[in-house]
Amino acid sequence: MSEQESTPVVRRVDDRHRYEILVDGRRAGLTAYRDREDRRVFFHTEIDDAYAGRGLASVLVEQALTDVRASGMRIVPICPYVAKFLTKHGEFADITDPVTPEVEKWLDGVLGR
pLDDT, tens digit (0-9, with 9 covering 90-100), for 24-54: 999 999 999 999 999 999 999 999 999 999 9
111 pLDDT band (50/70/90 cuts)? Answer: very high
H or E, element range at 46? strand 39-47
- Give Cβ neighbours of residue 45 (< 8 Å, ≥ 6 apart): 29, 30, 31, 32, 57, 60, 61, 79, 81, 82
- What's the mean pLDDT in 65-83? 98
Asked if residue 1 has pLDDT above 60, the reply is: no
